[in-house]
Amino acid sequence: MTGFPRDSAYETKTAERKRNLDDCFEGAGIWAGIQVRDDTKIWFFLLTTLVPIALAWLLVWSVVSLVRWVSRGFQKPAAK
């Protein structure tokens, strides 16, 4: 069985892409380490993600409660 012919241009391009990918992973790891070490950014992230979720749940709960309260006001009284 014969192997595929070696293409030096392909191998060079592949090696270059691998170096670029390794550099990218290294940079991402450094950036992530810097971001995690900065506590103010963590608190800002939590504040900007969790507070809107809590406010949305409070709004939904308020609307549901209001609709239930209004619908009870339109019910006819039970017969005695």
Taking 3-state DSSP, the helix, strand and coil percentages for the chain, each rounded to the nearest 5, stand at: 80, 0, 20
With 0-12 / 13-18 / 19 or more C-beta atoms within 10 angstroms meaning exposed / middle / buried, residue 78 is exposed
Task: Write the pLDDT tens digit of every residue in 16-75.
Answer: 999 999 988 888 887 777 666 666 777 888 888 999 999 999 999 999 999 999 999 888
60: amino acid identity, one letter: V
Query: Given this model, what pLDDT does residue 78 score?
Result: 75
Tokens of 44: 């800002």
Handedness of CA 6, 7, 8, 14 (dihedral sign): negative
Residue 1: pLDDT band with limits 50, 70, 90: very low
Region 4-26 average pLDDT: 85
Query: Given this model, what pLDDT does residue 63 score?
Result: 98
Query: Given this model, what pLDDT does residue 7 score?
Result: 78
Distance of CA 77 to the CA centre of its chain: 50
